[in-house]
Amino acid sequence: MSNYDVVVLGAGPGGYVCAIRAAQLGLKAAVVEKQWMGGVCLNVGCIPTKSLLKNAEVVHTIRERSKEFGISCDNLQIDYAAAVKRSRKVSQRLTKGVSFLMNKNKVDVYNGVGRLQGRDTIVVKADDGTEQTLKASNIVIATGARPSPIPGMEPDGKKVLTYLDAILQESLPQSAVVIGAGALGLEFATVWNSYGSEITLVEMMPHLAPTEDEEVSIELEKEFKKAGITGLAGHRVLGIDHTDQGVAVRVQSGDEVKTIEAEQALIAIGFKPNSSDIGLEEAGVTLKKGGFVEIDRRMATNVTGIWSIGDVTGELMLAHVASTQGMIVAENIAGESKEIFDYRMMPRAIYSHPQVASFGLTEQQAIDEGYEVKVGRFPFQGIGKAIALGDYPGFVKVVSDAKYGEILGAHMIGPDVSELLPEYTLAHRNELTAAEIGANVHAHPTLSEILMEAAHAVDGHAIHM
């Protein structure tokens, strides 16, 4: 039997970060992982999709814009399988890096299925059937989530896909219906469309990217339409029928019912937590509706010494949120932090083309909460660097409190906005106003100048508009 200060169940972006931070703080730490170091994110999620999106960007430039850049291509050959293989190499490199970090920080790794036996004990069963018992003063549940089958739309890995099937398949569908226009659906629509697939996006809510500021969603719909992607917002999926050629997806909007035929359908909605059969009930841990682990604002469960982070909590299913939760938990265990988590102010990004990035309150949410708001908007078509790049659809929108100047939220669509967003989240965290961002000198020509211009626009002082 081995004894630890902290044992983390799950080595995804929350779990492995938590274990490393605990070790840095002088705690004896271990992590238990049944399948992948780095979890879904590094292996079959965030990282491989971004690799595929880079390939898609290159392909789109060559296919659609080569003449603009003075390049002619004869007998162009595009190999989608090569893009998938490159994405696997990228993932493998990073997962090896996580293993290196475990060794560097002296975090013990146990490969196998972990199950709680009481408040302070985890039994790890390896693939060969052998078992090890770990005792821990603190246990962190970081087991993540998985796709949740929808009745009547069960995936088969061939015609009806989950995100895992879509990431790993080396064949390109000539046509696909993507069900769900959140980040996952929008990103795969971008990849497959760039390679020439005929894509239809089906979203039950009134707009694509339904959780974003409405102006951003409308702009995204416009750009997707230009790219040849059919967006069916406000449509509910009734069912999926298998055909000789692929699938027939039945959708409804109001009283109208229609059928969309395609080679494949991707289910990009519905996730459930990996919280069953790991001993949580026996340990007395309270679960919320849907099986998500209930935590307080410190990520503590109702059982002293048991904590939980990441997708298994259902709070905000983003890798960087899980990592931040992991660091805060480690610091709370070590007695070095009492930081309170505000999920509304966490950065969010969609790596479609164009990209979408945001944090905080939308304009409507701020109004609904009783704020008197001032809004600054600035388009990328007024930014010299964006024009030079030939990529200037979109805008930046800043929502500010009229009384005190506090930045309540920012909403962006356009080139590399995921890289621009942190300036605004840092400003919010340190209580800077839009006027102070506007007063900060931004190098010219850069895309970041749009942050300055949008900040000036809050008070009607934008220069280039």
Q: From CA 201, how far away is CA 179, in angstroms rounded?
A: 6
Query: What is the per-residue pLDDT for 232?
Result: 98
Buried b (16+ CB within 10 A) or exposed e, 6-44: bbbbbbbbbbbbbbbbbbebebbbbbbbbebbbbbbbbb
User: How many angstroms separate the Cα of 1 from the Cα of each of 10, 123, 133, 136, 224?
Assistant: 20, 10, 5, 11, 56
Q: From CA 349, how far away is CA 431, in angstroms rounded?
A: 22
Please check whether residue 364 is in contact with residue 409, taking contact to mean a CB–CB distance below 8 angstroms: no
Query: What is the per-residue pLDDT for 119?
Result: 95
The catalytic residues are 444
Query: What is the per-residue pLDDT for 151?
Result: 86
Query: What is the per-residue pLDDT for 163?
Result: 95
Please check whether residue 179 is in contact with residue 160, taking contact to mean a CB–CB distance below 8 angstroms: no
Chain centre distance of CA 325 = 15
Alpha helices by DSSP H, 35-79: 39-44, 46-65
List, for the chain, all residue ranges whose pLDDT scores fall below the cut of 70: none
Query: What is the per-residue pLDDT for 135?
Result: 97
- Burial (CB count within 10 angstroms: exposed 0-12, middle 13-18, buried 19+), residue 334: middle
Query: What is the per-residue pLDDT for 100?
Result: 96
Q: What is the DSSP string of 355-408?
A: EEEEEE--HHHHHHTT--EEEEEEEGGG-HHHHHHT----EEEEEEETTT-BEE
Q: Which of 315, 423, 312 is nearest to 359 (CA)?
A: 423
Query: What is the per-residue pLDDT for 19?
Result: 98
The domains found in the chain, sorted by start residue, are 2-147+272-343 (3.50.50.60), 160-269 (3.50.50.60), 354-457 (3.30.390.30)
Query: What is the per-residue pLDDT for 337?
Result: 73
Buried b (16+ CB within 10 A) or exposed e, 262-297: bbbbbbbbebbbbbeebbbeebebebeeeebbebee
Chain centre distance of CA 41 = 9
For the whole model, what pTM was predicted? 0.95
Q: Which of 88, 150, 199 is nearest to 160 (CA)?
A: 150
